[in-house]
Amino acid sequence: MNYRWNWEILLQEPYWSWIWSGLEWTLLISLSSWCVALVVGTLFGIARTASNRAVRAAADIYVGLFRNVPPLVQLFLWYSVFPEVLPEALGLWVKRDMPSPQFVTAAVAIGLFMAARVAEQVRAGIGAVGLRLLPAALATGLRPWQAYRLILLPLGLRAITKPLTSEFLITVKMSSIALTIGVLELTAESRHIENYTFQGFEAFGVATLIYLLLGLGVTGVMSLVDRYFGGDKLRRGDR
Amino acid sequence: MIEISDVSKSYGRTAVLRGCTAAVKRGEVVVVCGPSGSGKSTLIKCVNGLVPFDSGAIRVDGVSVGDKATDLPALRARIGMVFQNFELYPHMTALQNVSLAQIHVLKRSRTEADTKSRQLLARVGLADKLASRPDQLSGGQQQRVSIARALAMDPQAMLFDEPTSALDPEMVNEVLEVMQALALDGMTMMVVTHEMGFAQRVADRVLFMDGGEILEDTPKAAFFAHPSTDRARQFLAKVLSH
């Protein structure tokens, strides 16, 4: 192979700053879409275990829709189509005038896609360890929302910290699709460097390493969270 | 205290309760027995509205359970319930299990609730298990925690749904003793159980159910001496023979 390796180039300006800024956007998109996914996903996950049939059906529709349309298509829909169906002034604001429209769109689109997956995990977690306790909780006079907040949700979330870790990891990697609507995150910046320097192997090599480290970091943090809340003990002790 | 009149319920085409009528007076202990699948558990769960019924009426302390306008959580807070499988919250200690509803339903302060919980756990013989989680307790101990959890709400009546059926034989008595002490204190109790010894010692009346119907509603002595229906006779012959 006639490739001339040149790792030093990545330490030179502006390439170093490009990687750094790409990493910042990747982190920003990953974390904000994960927050959206957790909040929205938990709400829909709870709704999927509700006794009210209409609430359950609405949540089923959400999950069915957002889980089955390719995330890339969803991103395009949110970016190109969604502003057009809004009233004109609002559409213009979403497209152009709100702060960092591409970033916000990417975070929301990825977040809502991931929320459908998280909802499914939350539903499974509540069903596996919590739902059995609902009659007992209600019998003490707790209202349904209190039973969910104090018992079903804490137990359900403890049961699923491991699969939620996988969902978090998918979110981090999914952040790279934001490049298709022009967010210069890590993958986009690597490609950017390749175009300028023809040292694509180095650029993507570093990006790969950074994704790997981010992933290991997420895994580590999530197992600390799991241990702190005693999820492993609870899973072993569950009858 | 508890009035059940002509209550029926079916799941699809299967009738689980057929025109059940019964009453539990204040301070009375009523044991509900009968073969499995006879509707005993369903009936007792109808009393606090955990299971909705199709027709008839249930009134607890004058409040209609089936009425849509009834604030069920408020009603349930006044009726304690103990389940076959304990149903303790596995992520909380015994103390937290007993304090939770006091804090969130009765709005007691944490200190006040914990003081009450300590007294109750001591009363059921678990003063040394306050900080234990359910998986560190035996079945009998868990069931006693769950009785304490129900008592913590200062209930006006207690419902027991086969409280000893999931227990190893050597733990049955420790739970029955707690229930007996409660009965002696004058608690209104409705108890679904197969423990005929408990019924003989503690019950005022016995309801015998089969096929979703209440076949007998008799004072304890009469029920055990000469049950009036054949099915009750057969049932007693089976459960008393060992």
Residues in B touching A137 (Cβ below 8 Å) = 89
pLDDT tier for residue A235 given thresholds of 50, 70 and 90:
low
> How much is the pLDDT for A238?
46
Q: What is the mean pLDDT of chain B?
A: 92
pLDDT exceeds 90 at position A37: yes
Element (H, E) at A173: helix A161-174
Instruction: Give the range among B33-37, B45-49, B145-149 with minimum mean pLDDT.
Output: B33-37
Residues in B touching A230 (Cβ below 8 Å) = 91
Are A142 and B104 a contacting pair at CB < 8 A?
Answer: yes
Residues in B touching A150 (Cβ below 8 Å) = 100, 104
For chain A, state the CA radius of gyration: 21
> How much is the pLDDT for B241?
67
Q: What interface predicted TM-score (ipTM) does this complex get?
A: 0.91
Are A136 and B74 a contacting pair at CB < 8 A?
Answer: no
Smallest Cα distance from A231 to chain B, Å:
9
> How much is the pLDDT for B209?
94
Q: How many CA atoms lie within 13 A of A140 on its CB side?
A: 32
pLDDT digits (tens, 9 = 90+) for A169-216: 999 999 999 999 989 999 999 999 999 988 889 889 999 999 999 999
Other beta carbons within 10 angstroms of residue B139's beta carbon come to 19
In this complex, the residue of A139, A158, A230 whose CB is nearest that of residue B48 is: A139
Torsion over CA of A189, A194, A195 and A196, rounded to 10 degrees?
90
pLDDT digits (tens, 9 = 90+) for A58-77: 999 999 999 999 999 999 99
Beta strand B2-11 pairing with B55-60: antiparallel
> How much is the pLDDT for B242?
56
Superfamily grouping for domain A10-235 = MetI-like (1.10.3720.10)
pLDDT digits (tens, 9 = 90+) for B189-226: 999 998 998 999 999 999 999 999 999 999 988 898 88
> How much is the pLDDT for B82?
96
> How much is the pLDDT for A12?
84
**How far is C-alpha A201 from the chain's CA centre?**
28
> How much is the pLDDT for B239?
82
Distance in angstroms (rounded) separating the CA atoms of residues A219 and A215: 6
Please spell the DSSP secondary structure of chain B, one letter per residue: -EEEEEEEEEETTEEEEEEEEEEE-TT-EEEEE-STTSSHHHHHHHHTTSS--SEEEEEETTEESS-TTS-HHHHHTTEEEE-TT----TTS-HHHHHHHHHHHTS---HHHHHHHHHHHHHHTT-GGGTT--GGGS-HHHHHHHHHHHHHTT--SEEEEESTTTTS-HHHHHHHHHHHHHHHHTT-EEEEE-S-HHHHHHH-SEEEEEETTEEEEEEEHHHHHH--SSHHHHHHHHHHH--
